[in-house]
Structure 1
């Protein structure tokens, strides 16, 4: 047929479209995955015995905006559209595995070796995606890419937090997310300048080589060395830090620091099952897990759906990154001035309201649809930054690492489901945004059940975690915000 010629384009008026393609009443559009047989162009007519056939082997792609893409090269459309979502979902599964496996290895062998190894894997896998033409290989490589990138970010984040003082952790932690947002701008610019997705992948992968010398520039974490009873190596690093910062450190104080005995009870790590040992701690753990899953799912869902909002996809992607910066700035300001719980609930609730309200926006009002979606992205970015801090402060010290690691793993479940939720726009355009908004609203309400942690002495043991936030503020010591056991339990 004349419409089956590869990558051909023909001007088609409404009469020809009616003859060539079935009409989908649900989508209110022509079905581009099927066509009528026995249709002639001159004169335009369709035979009475024509059948509806699938376009599975004869797609014609519109290359006016994107010359090539993985969707075109691997034919990820129509009946194979779910494979497109699988590519994105597999990447999130890789991040899940990387969070657990590489996080555990970095605790055992050190931060620097895992950081360098993840960098090398990322470069090899990134280039491999370009030169290997098979879809199955692409899936495997995307899995490895997600794991390696999570190893890079996770280890870099931990090293950063371990290098700075207590007063700087909140700001530094949020700034780490800020540089992630800046990557949005760079990615959009590179995608606009490089039309081929394969060359774009190469251009985004090779700069990682510049970070390999970090292995010889950045020292190993002194905190990690102390926990591994390697004080002499930690001392050398701290002396070098003091010298670079032009600070004078008393030798006796430094020696005393190296001799601090490690409390075996505090050094002992809790297990995943300890998070569910007590009823109150169990509820909070499940609450935090759900919060992480929703934050991750909504964040990546909105990030991956910018091209579905209408308008210029490059501009939408830039806006998607731009709104993250004020979101992170607001989170930084509110964390230390207002607290954690109320801002988190407010951002989730407001973001969910923005997304659900898209149901009332006419399809032709693209500007309003984009505004509401990007407002939701701003709010979810802020809430994502806050949940990091709140979670680290709610989990007791003995299970803090396993709690944060488990939360990060659960978050990847939300990220893995996001591409499939985005596919529901074929059923009804606003449906993905409505689902994301409803989940954010539910998480907002559950957040109110978590304790406020600002200026509070953090829980150390599982018993502390069970009783954390259990007493009214009037019963707390004003000096260290530690619950006084003789106070009345307000929850009974």
Structure 2
């Protein structure tokens, strides 16, 4: 809203008021870093094997061979889901037979884990998986737990914008904080996996709604230069701070209920922010509450120690601005013309794939070799330079090349992991970090680039359809991680291939760097396809008329 920016220019860009809003709203996203990735530790799957009860009356020799061996990641390891039939082993043990001498153990019949499982306790004392035995035949519940959280994120992204438009940015920000914190506390006392999963879905709805409300509120309150830094660095880096603190909590707290409570309680610290963060003046103006909007701006001027004009917002100018924006567009406009239709398809593909790569790499941390707490911390730390590099690329490098370069960097590095010997665990971790660096940089630039591709009249819908595709990708990503439990490198091969492919397809997008934003549908740039440019129906008709009038000479070269 250019009139608003002009009317509030007297406040300056970086006074005490703007700094307060910048840091408080950014800090409010730290719990999002907790909740967004906490499932890695809450629902981690430790090493496990079938429980052999003491009542089986087996000699130590037969107890040692009661679990069959199976091939996993090139190694012979104890089976997670099968054991030899205990009644047969007990019979052999009672008869004094020796395994491997009198009996070929591999010929004995197998059975599933009828008495539960024995879980390794070296990393986790308890998780959601060990609490309700979400392994073997029930292991599908693991990725579904994560997918339900992201399904809540998808649902919340649909409703958060409408709610904040209807009830105000500030009210929805704090209401969704309450949902995220309150339902997480209830989740601590879950009595079944079903209860935990349903509550996790609701927490996901609050998590994204809180994040979006903070993003919108900051973008509308802050001035133009502060708004750019807030949108690209502020909330992103504070999210990464929450992400970095997560493995520290998880390292010292190995019980899932205690860990979840510890991650939830900091959300209560956001309650005092209600008295420091104002409502969005732009939203108040859109609701006709100009006096309230002026009161907020005058308090900001007093805080910045500048003088406010007698009349800040002129009603006539505001009415004129509303009339210019009165024409409504629908989601069908995203498919109206050939160029916009192709841009929309490519946008959906890009957001889907970059989201799968980002969340897939992040959630696959437990499947990496080495300490999962250290690996998670390193993957969180790498996001900070990634956001800073993305910010610099947006200011100096053409968009297509910046996006293509970061996607190819992330994808190629992930593909190289399969070539690293298992003995070089540190090299594998470094490659994953570099891959995460590239994908995160591309992800952080996606909002800006998508907004520049679409004309003003459908820009919000264009960004919205991209964001929705991102949520779908996050719902799918846990199943890539699920494959990692069976083959360590398969998730990286799939994510790397998709990321490289999308990195090349980005080159077909129009270039927006240094160009004015399109205002109307007709100003949308042409797609850089290898095929012939599609002529508009109007141009085609003009060509036919020229042919009829003989104004075009057609020559054929034999």
SS of the equivalent of 2:111 reads strand
1:231·1:258 contact (CA, 8 Å) conserved in 2? Answer: no
Aligned-residue offset at 1:447: 1.1
Which of 11, 20, 24 is matched with 2:71 structurally?
A: 24
- Cα distance in 2 for residues equivalent to 1:44 and 1:270: 79
2:140 partner SS: helix
Distance 1:257 1:169, change over 3 A: farther
Tell me the equivalent position of 2:121: 63
Structure ID, larger Rg = 2
Q: CA shift at 1:103, angstroms?
A: 1.7
Q: Distance in 1 between matches of 2:362 and 2:187?
A: 22
Residue in 1 that maps onto 2:358: 299
After superposition, give the CA deviation of every residue in 1:262-295 in whole Å (9 maximum; x if it has no partner).
2434244422221111111111111111111112
Q: CA, structure 1 residues 153+26, in 2 after alignment: closer, same or farther (shift >3 Å)?
A: closer
Unaligned regions of 5+ residues in structure 2, if any? Answer: 1-48, 529-558
User: Which of 255, 280, 301 pairs up with 1:196?
Assistant: 255
> Structure 1 residue 39 and structure 2 residue 89: aligned?
yes
Counterpart of 2:43? none
Structure-2 change in CA distance of 1:427 and 1:153 (3 Å): same
Aligned counterparts of 1:275 and 1:89: Cα–Cα separation in 2: 28
Q: Which residue of 1 aligns with 2:291?
A: 232
After the TM superposition, which of the residue ranges 55-64 and 106-115 deviates more from structure 2? Answer: 55-64
Provide the TM-score with structure 1 as the length reference: 0.88
Q: Deviations over 1:43-96 (max 9, x none)?
A: 652578732111254211011221111110021111111100000011011000
Q: Secondary structure at the match of 1:60?
A: strand
After TM superposition, the structure 1 stretch with the greater mean CA deviation from structure 2, 155-164 or 223-232, is 223-232
What is the rounded CA distance, in whole Å, between the counterparts of 1:25 and 1:348 in structure 2? 31
Which deviates more, 168-177 or 272-281? 168-177
Q: Does residue 419 of the first structure (1) align with residue 478 of the second (2)?
A: yes
Contact 2:181 2:267 in 1 (8 A): yes
What's the counterpart of residue 24 of structure 2? none
Asked if the contact 2:342/2:527 (under 8 Å) is kept, the reply is no
CA distances 1:395-416 after superposition (whole Å, capped 9, x unpaired): 2222222222222111111111
Q: Let me know the Cα RMSD of the aligned residues.
A: 2.6
| Aligned mate of 2:338, from 259, 263, 279 | 279
What secondary structure does 1:310 align onto?
coil
Compute the displacement of 1:252 (Å): 4.5
Match of 1:4?
A: 52
Aligned-pair distance for 1:188? 1.1
Task: Give the corresponding residue for 1:321.
Answer: 380
Q: Does 1:160 align with 2:218?
A: yes
- Give the TM-score normalised by structure 2: 0.78
Q: Deviations over 1:370-420 (max 9, x none)?
A: 111111011111111101111122122222222222221111111111111
In the alignment, what sits opposite 1:358? 417
Q: Deviation per CA, 1:405-455, whole angstroms, max 9, x where unpaired? A: 222111111111111111112442211011111111111111111122233
Q: 1:269 to 1:76 in 2, by over 3 A?
A: farther
Partner of 1:480 in structure 2? Answer: none
5 Å matches for 1:186-225? 186-225=245-284
Equivalents in 1 of 2:298, 2:185: separation in Å?
40
Q: Is the 8 A contact 2:399 2:512 kept in 1?
A: yes
**Superposition deviation, residue 149 in structure 1:** 0.5
